[in-house]
Amino acid sequence: MNIKHLNWFLLIITTINLGISSMANAKSAYDFNFDSIEGGIIPLSDFTGNVILLVNTASKCGFTNQYEGLQSLWDEFKSDGLVVIGVPSNDFGGQEPGTNVQIKNFCEVNFNINFPMTAKAIVKGNGAHPFYKWANDELGWRARPKWNFHKYLIGRDGSLQGSFSSMVSTESSKLRNKITQLLKNKI
């Protein structure tokens, strides 16, 4: 291996190690930020003390009607401390092909969405957003998103409290009971 290749190899290893160590240093969901669909940043730490339902979404999916339920949860429980955050992703079936502007418009026009939305993000694989890598490390591979509208529930202390597949609707007693339970726990 010549010196040029060795330098590239060391740079790659260092970059990988920095990425791994930054995730390893994360103690809670509050350690992560997302780009906002409107521009700017959404620090999850802005929601310290709230219960967060973080959902990867898509506009052209068989589960897209779950937007309606997400908005209903937000409307029903936001005064109690629930924050719903949509994370548009094109990772499953290419079902979120639009731009951030198109996605935002679709959500507002079709579902009257007014809960926070992130910019389009990668939620699986090596390029996944750091939150999703951390969630995978915390809860294991069974809890990682396998399709659109996968839900993570985060407690008031920033800890992951559950993972719900796309098949778990927003009307599910399993999800709603867990949200209600976490909302009762005051910090």
The Cα angle at residue 43 between residues 37 and 49, in degrees rounded to 5: 125
pLDDT > 70 in the chain, percent = 87
User: pLDDT tens, 73-86?
Assistant: 999 999 999 999 99
- Choosing from 29, 44, 61, 179, the catalytic residue is 61
| Domain ranges within the chain, ordered by starting residue | 28-184
pLDDT of 120-156, one tens digit each?
999 999 999 999 999 999 999 889 999 999 999 999 9
Residue 147 CB-half CA count within 13 A: 10
For this structure, is 61 an active site residue? yes
pLDDT in tens, 1-33: 555 554 444 444 444 444 443 445 779 999 999
Judging by beta carbons within 10 Å of its beta carbon (0-12, 13-18, 19+), is residue 98 exposed, middle or buried? Answer: middle
Q: Based on the number of CB atoms within 10 Å of its own CB, is 85 exposed (0-12), middle (13-18) or buried (19 or more)? A: buried
**Domain 28-184 in CATH 1.10.3470.10:** no
Cβ atoms within 10 A of the Cβ of 1, count? 7
What pLDDT was estimated at residue 2? 57
Q: Do β-strands 41-43 and 33-35 pair in parallel, antiparallel, or remain unpaired?
A: antiparallel
Query: Furthest-apart CA pair in the chain: how many Å?
Result: 63
